[in-house]
Amino acid sequence: MATGSLVISKRASATAVLLILLAMAGIAVAGKVISGQAGGGSLPIPPTCSLNFIDPTPANNSIVTEKSVNITVSSNCSITNAILYLDGTEYDMTTNGNIATIEVDVSLGKHTFYISAWTKSGEVQTETRTITVQTSEGGGGGGEVTPALEFVEPTPDNNSKINTDRLSIKVVANRCLKLEKATLHWSGKEIPMKIGEDNITAYIDLSGLTSGTYVYNVSATCSQTAQPTEYQTEALSQPGISPITPGPIPEIWSETRTVTVEVGEVGGYGLEFITPPTPPDNTETSETQIEIKVEATRCFNLENATLHWNGKNISGEVSGSIANFIVSNPDSGIHIYNVSAYCMDIIKSSLGIAKEEIWSPTQTVTITEGVPQYRIMFVSPPTPANGETVSDKVTINVTST
């Protein structure tokens, strides 16, 4: 074995000494193999593992025309396990050496995805990609297709029968990058629809329907159109949306559908208490916080919900057909309450009919032990007054009620 001598100055830092000793042993430092004069071999540096999308994975921001999409990744290391995260849902992938692949069904609309894989160097990830799934007339891809609207869930199937007085209608725009407005044509009535956050969907919730057969379709204005992307046969080196046609198309339409509503005798709109968390009627409780929750019957959208609590009006939080209220620190005794709100009936509103005020039943709750109203107050002096200039020593006293 070769030998050597080493002289270390007193001024040498501990880090410098360690680096010198590692160099003599031939240990890798900062990603490099250092050979020392004392001999010793060189240690191989393991490669840094990476993970990249490969064909036929759709390019980022591309439009695809198939509802079954192949997503494949490759690594410079052997892959032991890989997971696709598609819109927050996990899917196990098939692995083979340094390749992982999966064929996944996707619905119309926008989707985001990325992949995590595990190699000998640990977990690695791809970048996140976004694709828009739209259909192509004739089932092909690559040819120019006129933008159109397509019904998607939860829209009832054509010629279906439902036994509820509520339904939801939703459309997605094909060959369109941005909807400006959408209108539901409902048996002769024109009702504005809401545009989704993805800018390519429109939806509406209807309530208070009576028995009968309804005919409907949807029209919309598309301000940007796009050609589909071929991604299954060749690599994509450019963004997948090409070309973009500027300027709005006057109107695009969905197909026309029919739905039959069959409902029995139904009352008017109303509010019903949800128990729990609402206490049952005539309940006794010692809780210091009472939660009151109501749901509208035959109404999708509530506005201006108010809890009437022993003569006091308390505003609540409204989400769709649900309203929620919190009563904190109620006094001891019997409390009488009910809830009022306005139902935003979209069909009636489109006909110029005023919003209808609806009410819950009246209930009572008995608070068996009220909550004392405590207060903590500063005692001055010696506590300095607000804004007072003090020295380096301060005494603070408080008292409570």
Is 200 inside a domain boundary? yes
pLDDT (tens digit per residue) in 299-319:
777 888 899 998 889 988 888
Domain count, the chain: 4
Residue 118 and residue 197 share a domain: no
pLDDT(98) > 90: yes
Is 384 inside a domain boundary? no
Residue 15 and residue 75 share a domain: no
C-alpha 377, offset from chain centre: 45
pLDDT(85) > 90: yes
Last residue of a domain, one of 261, 295, 316: 261
Is 227 inside a domain boundary? yes
Residue 350 and residue 300 share a domain: yes
Domain housing 24? 1-45
Burial 32-65 (b: 16+ CB within 10 A, else e): eebebebebeeeeeeeebbbebeebbbbbebbbb
Residue 179 and residue 253 share a domain: yes
Residue 360 and residue 280 share a domain: yes
Domain CATH for 73: 2.60.40.10
Mean pLDDT, rounded, of the chain: 76
pLDDT (tens digit per residue) in 221-274:
887 665 443 332 233 333 333 333 444 555 788 888 899 888 765 555 678 899
pLDDT(216) > 70: yes
Percent of the chain having pLDDT more than 70? 71
Is 396 inside a domain boundary? no
pLDDT(330) > 70: yes
Percent of the chain having pLDDT more than 90? 23
Is 376 inside a domain boundary? no
Average pLDDT over every residue of 342-367: 74
Extract the tokens encoding 165: 């007085």
Q: ∠130-251-193 over CA atoms, to 5°? A: 70
Is 142 inside a domain boundary? no
Residue 310 and residue 229 share a domain: no
Residue 39 and residue 58 share a domain: no
Residue 253 and residue 190 share a domain: yes
Question: What is the longest distance spanned by two Cα atoms in the chain?
Answer: 102
Q: Output 322 or 136, whichever has higher pLDDT.
A: 322
Q: How confident is the model at residue 349 (pLDDT cuts 50, 70, 90)?
A: low
Is 379 inside a domain boundary? no
Count of CA atoms in the C-beta half-sphere (13 A) of 67: 9
pLDDT of residue 234: 32
pLDDT of residue 359: 85
Residue 62 and residue 90 share a domain: yes
Residue 246 and residue 153 share a domain: yes
275-284, 336-345, 378-387: segment of lowest average pLDDT = 378-387
pTM of the model: 0.43
Is 139 inside a domain boundary? no
pLDDT of residue 114: 96
Helix, strand, coil % over all residues of the chain, rounded to 5: 5, 50, 45
Q: How confident is the model at residue 91 (pLDDT cuts 50, 70, 90)?
A: very high
For residues 168 and 272, is the Cβ–Cβ distance under 8 A?
no
Residue 256 and residue 169 share a domain: yes
pLDDT(21) > 70: no
Residue 122 and residue 151 share a domain: no
